[in-house]
Structure formats: structure tokens, C-alpha cells
């Protein structure tokens, strides 16, 4: 899938030409909810204490369980409150979609059920359909000193540059269909639709970009042009779900 396999040099070239004062430093991030999982496994182990204890052991175990329950009762509200914005996002997930919530890098989005996560160099996260490989979503981040996406130009200007220099190989013919701006929780997002034509296929795609946490975020999703009519609404849901939170 050519649109997901550009080298860092292409990003550097575009950013240099656009005079954005940004360096391309891709990193691979994996989200794991380790704290909550450890808490669950600890409770399970506590319930698996061996049987046939002495009277003293029974009293000790009961006291231990009471202490454990008291500790969990104290900790649970803190854990739930610390994850509130992510839990809320997961609860709002639409039928047929799964949620990605990256606390470390401060972003979340939905992707269609059945897509699988794959590792691609230069991308923070990638999910795709194994049968239709052009149906995918990828997220990338690069550091930036800019504070707002509007500092880089209008939606049309930024979209045109990003498509030609980063999101499609130079050998492909590209066309910007639409570019627009919207605000979410005080952050400006640019969202645009484009078509990239290769010799043996044409990909119809949607992207959304935003600046936050000192980073330039890009989410791109798309499908083969022949399946665009069937996938358009799903891909629009993916783009619309992308959200940046402060970390």
C-alpha cells in the first residue's frame, strides 16, 4: 500500500519546502492499559488461595480479603476517574467499530470491526482490512513548534501540499476533492478528501490533521475507488472520530 510506505525523507522535504520549522521523527507507539489489567489479575489471584486451611489461616485470609476489598474500593474510583474521558469515548463507539485510545500520545479514534493492526515503519498506528489492503487507517505524528494548524495556511493550501509531498508518491496523479475546517474542544482540525491514481489502482481517501501537545497529527483512511461507494460512510466515521486530548 504505497500511500502508507513513504520514507521520512519525503516528510522532511515537504516540511522544508513549506517552511513549517518541523522535523520528521516518526515513532511507533503501542497502547496498553497496564494498570487496570494488573488490578484485575491481582484480584483473581487473591481468590485462588489454596483450600483446606487451618482456623488461623481462615481468619487471616478473611482479614486479608477484607483489606483487599477495602483497598480496591478506595482505588477503583481513582482509576475510573483518571480514565473517564477514554471510557466515555469507548462508550460512544458506534456499532461495528472499535476504539483506539492512546493515552501516551494523546489521541483517540474509531476503526471498523474486522480490521487488523499492522506495523509499518514511520507510522504510529495502522489498521487495515486483510482482504482489501487499500482499506486502512493510519496515524502519524511529528514534533512541531506551531500552536495551531491554521498557522500553516488555509485548509486547501495545507491539504494540497500534504497530498503531493507526503500522502501519495510523486508518481501518482492526485486530486483534492474538498478541504474544510472545524473546531473541536478549542482545537482546529483540517479535514480533506482526495484521490490518488496509480497505474494499477485508484485510492479514494480522507484525512484529518491537527496540532496539539507540540505535535502535528495526521490520520488518513481510504479505500479502492471501486469500493468507495460502499465504504464512504464508514471512512467518514473514522475521520470524524479522531480526537486530540492534552497530555
| pLDDT band (50, 70, 90) for residue 62 | low
pLDDT confidence of residue 240: 97
What mean pLDDT value characterizes the chain? 75
CB 240 within 8 A of CB 46: no
| Exposed / middle / buried, residue 81 (Cβ in 10 Å: 0-12, 13-18, 19+) | exposed
Listed residue (228, 182, 233) closest to 209, CA to CA: 182
pLDDT band at 31 (very low <50, low <70, confident <90, very high): very low
Mean pLDDT of 197-220: 97
Cell of 89: 469515548
Share above pLDDT 70 across residues of the chain, in percent, rounded to a whole number: 62
Q: Which residues contact 219 (CB under 8 A, 6 or more apart)?
A: 109, 137, 138, 139, 207, 208, 209, 238, 239, 242
| pTM over the 0.75 mark | no
List the one residue out of 232, 220, 224 whose CA is nearest residue 201. 224
CATH T-level assignment (fold) for domain 2-30+94-244: Protein Transport Mog1p; Chain A (3.40.1000)
Following DSSP, what letter does each residue of 1-29 receive, concatenated?
Answer: -GGG---HHHHHHHHHHTT----------
Q: Which helix (H) or strand (E) holds 230?
A: helix 228-241
Question: Are 8 and 26 spatial neighbours (Cβ–Cβ below 8 Å)?
Answer: yes
Local structure of residue 93 (DSSP, 8 states): P
What pLDDT, on the 0 to 100 scale, is given for residue 94? 79
The Cβ-side half-sphere exposure at 120, using a 13 Å CA radius, reads: 21
Q: Are 23 and 143 in contact (CB under 8 A)?
A: yes
Amino acid at each position: 500500500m504505497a500511500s502508507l510506505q513513504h520514507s521520512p525523507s519525503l516528510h522532511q522535504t515537504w516540511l522544508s519546502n513549506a517552511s513549517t520549522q518541523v522535523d520528521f521523527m516518526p515513532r511507533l507507539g503501542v497502547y496498553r492499559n497496564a494498570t487496570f489489567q494488573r488490578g484485575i489479575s491481582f484480584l483473581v489471584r487473591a481468590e485462588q488461595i489454596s483450600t483446606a486451611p487451618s482456623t488461623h489461616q481462615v481468619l487471616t485470609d478473611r482479614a486479608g480479603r477484607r483489606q483487599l476489598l477495602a483497598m480496591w474500593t478506595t482505588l477503583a474510583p481513582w482509576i475510573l476517574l483518571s480514565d473517564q474521558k477514554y471510557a466515555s469515548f469507548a462508550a460512544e463507539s458506534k456499532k461495528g467499530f472499535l476504539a483506539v485510545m492512546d493515552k501516551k500520545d494523546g489521541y483517540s479514534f474509531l476503526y471498523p470491526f474486522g480490521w487488523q493492526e499492522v506495523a509499518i515503519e514511520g507510522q504510529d498506528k495502522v489498521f487495515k482490512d486483510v482482504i482489501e489492503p487499500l482499506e486502512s487507517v493510519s496515524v502519524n505524528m511529528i514534533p512541531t513548534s506551531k500552536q495551531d494548524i491554521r498557522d500553516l495556511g488555509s485548509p486547501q493550501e495545507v491539504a494540497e501540499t500534504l497530498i503531493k509531498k507526503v500522502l501519495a508518491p510523486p508518481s501518482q496523479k492526485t486530486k483534492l476533492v474538498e478541504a474544510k475546517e472545524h473546531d473541536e474542544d478549542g482545537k482546529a482540525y483540517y479535514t480533506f478528501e482526495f484521490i490518488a491514481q496509480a497505474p494499477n489502482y485508484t485510492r479514494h481517501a480522507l484525512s484529518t490533521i491537527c496540532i496539539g501537545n507540540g505535535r502535528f497529527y495526521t490520520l488518513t483512511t481510504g479505500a479502492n475507488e471501486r469500493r468507495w461507494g460502499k465504504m464512504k460512510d464508514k471512512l467518514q466515521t473514522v475521520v470524524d472520530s479522531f480526537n486530540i486530548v492534552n497530555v
